[in-house]
Structure 1
Amino acid sequence: MNGMKSYHTAPRRWPVAVALMGAGLMLAGCQTSTGPAAQIASIDTAQGSAENIASLTAVIARSPSDPQAYNVRGSAFGKAGRYPEAIQDFDTAIRLDPNFYQAYANRALIWRFSGDNAKSLQDYNRALQLNSGYDAAYIGRGNLYRLAGRPQEAFADFEQAIKLDTTDPRAYHNRGLLYQAQGQHSFALEDFSTAISMAPNAAEPYNGRGVSYLALGDEDNAFDDFNTAIKLDEANAEGWANQALVYERRGDKARARRSYQQSLRLDPNYAPAMSGLERTKSG
């Protein structure tokens, strides 16, 4: 799709905020696809409620040899943050069907959430050995590489998922983050826009696109995107901090301060909001 694009050697460490050259400010970065809820949602539609898990347990009681039943309940456990139980269910699914590549990819995600990146990588690799055309495994492994500071490998995996005509917006969004971190904002804008077209109700791609708009000096479009991100997800600390930065750049310190404060109410440890609030505490 993007054969003319080149991806150059990346810095060793990916920042959580993008420095705007000459602005002296820090822009809140996108952390999309890093949280358990967002990732589990992409692998299964099962909900993590106690009622739903109870229903899935009843299904397993009726069909104790059905690997798919364990895979679905494992995803529900993952959504509920019950990682040991999720791992146990994926283990059972794989034992019942050693070629169950979806269960390997799902278990890989839970291993990552549990902090075991080595086991996560092993499971993604196994899923792709079983099905080299499984786009979700490329996206999951790519995100694992991205978060581990291995951008070249991450980029290759997102590219492969896109070549497979994935309908998962994470492939474009995460590739956009890599372009963005390299300062290739025109390419990043294209990828974020594609992700938005696939998932128009997701806040994160709007935040990402706003970051690149602002880096390119397009303050109005950036502001629109940050406002849309907040409208879609009022609990998005990054969106509030990004909106605050635009207010700050426009000289409206009072509104900037309120938005930074809201960001910190949502995430008291969010560094861009803390530094922004410090800059705007007077005036």
Structure 2
Amino acid sequence: MIARDDHRLNTARRIAAALTMVSVLALAACQTAPMGEFTEVDTAQVSEQNISSLTAVIQRNPNDPEAYNVRGSAYGRGGRHKEALRDFDRAIELRADYYQAYANRALIHRFLGDQPSALADYNRAIQLNASYDAAYIGRGNLYRKAGRVQEAFNDFQTAIQLDTTDPRAYHNRGLIYQSQGQHAFAIEDFSKAISLSPNSAEPYNGRGLSYLATNDEDNAFADFNTAIKLDGTIAESWANQALVYERQGERQKAAKSYGEAVRLDPNYAPAKEGLARVRAG
């Protein structure tokens, strides 16, 4: 046992040394879109600076599952999903109880559109480690997008009961509360997500919409403005800001914000419909 622990420690040190330019996190703990899973990382930087170093680690340790799991994470963050899938397959082949690799592979299956395989991998990760919060969050998000709302809620609830520090659990549970009109609970969850990830725009948008639903325009407007400051490329943020302007009778300002939302995403229906309304008025 001591020898195996020393081996893992040495491997971890080698991997850490290979990642001096960019920190590579496990996919199941990463975030992107609607508090989603992948952190925004420059693809070329991941490919050129990390992959070669991680490959060198693997060449020196071809039977080390941790090295494949970390390189798979780097591939995933760089959008190289098929290569990531191969690495996670290899990690699991080398260590059948590697629950983190199952959860990471599940995320890749999701991005490749293979939802049944994603669900199977999340289930396996949870079977191997019933306290692994990231797997519950990933599976919950899979359920939520499939319309299996109660199962999604249960998974987010479980992750929260496990004292997760992952903001996605609170954000996604907040989305469910919001969809059910339980805005006080939604606001509480979005606020918790913000406290865990203050630089993410998505929970500000979520909380702002619940504030707006309760006619708290001042707090809603403040949240939408914060979302825009954090990331001005999200069409939803501009459309939400425009909605407040529209409710306040500021049609020119509303049209400008709706127009920016349409520019960012020409297919975003709330922005197109809002722009048409204020122009018609």
Q: Is the partner of 2:191 in helix, strand or coil?
A: helix
Answer 1 or 2: which has greater helix percent. Answer: 2
Q: For residue 161 of structure 1, what is the aligned residue in structure 2?
A: 159
Query: How far did residue 224 of structure 1 move?
Result: 0.2
Query: How far did residue 267 of structure 1 move?
Result: 1.3
Q: 1:180 to 1:36 in 2, by over 3 A?
A: closer
In 2, distance between residues paired with 1:37 and 1:72?
Answer: 22
Contact 2:258 2:274 in 1 (8 A): yes
Structure 2: which 5+ residue stretches go unaligned?
A: 1-30
Contact 2:35 2:171 in 1 (8 A): no
Contact 1:48 1:78 in 2 (8 A): no
For residues 205-244 of structure 1, the aligned pairs below 5 Å read 205-244=203-242
Query: How far did residue 50 of structure 1 move?
Result: 2.9
Q: For residue 80 of structure 1, what is the aligned residue in structure 2?
A: 78
In 2, distance between residues paired with 1:105 and 1:162?
Answer: 18
Alignment length (residue pairs): 247
Bigger Rg, which one: 2
Q: Normalising to structure 1: TM-score of the pair?
A: 0.84
In 2, distance between residues paired with 1:225 and 1:37?
Answer: 16
Query: How far did residue 37 of structure 1 move?
Result: 9.2
In 1, distance between residues paired with 2:254 and 2:176?
Answer: 28
Q: Is the partner of 1:193 in helix, strand or coil?
A: helix
Tell me how large the CA RMSD over aligned residues is: 1.7
Give aligned-pair identity as a percent. Answer: 68
Contact 2:136 2:156 in 1 (8 A): yes
Deviates more, 1:247-256 or 1:221-230: 247-256
In 1, distance between residues paired with 2:128 and 2:188?
Answer: 32
1:277 aligns with 2:265: no
Q: For residue 12 of structure 2, what is the aligned residue in structure 1?
A: none
Contact 2:35 2:168 in 1 (8 A): no
Contact 2:32 2:38 in 1 (8 A): no
Q: Is the partner of 1:48 in helix, strand or coil?
A: helix
Higher relative contact order (CA 8 A, sep 6+): 1
Query: How far did residue 38 of structure 1 move?
Result: 4.1
Superposed CA deviations along residues 75-109 of structure 1, whole A, max 9, x for unmatched, are 11111211111110100000011110000000001
Contact 1:172 1:192 in 2 (8 A): yes
In 2, distance between residues paired with 1:34 and 1:81?
Answer: 12
1:97 aligns with 2:95: yes
Query: How far did residue 184 of structure 1 move?
Result: 0.4
Q: Is the partner of 2:38 in helix, strand or coil?
A: helix
Structure 1: which 5+ residue stretches go unaligned?
A: 1-32
Deviates more, 1:127-136 or 1:75-84: 75-84
Superposed CA deviations along residues 212-265 of structure 1, whole A, max 9, x for unmatched, are 000000000000000000000111111111001101111111111111111122
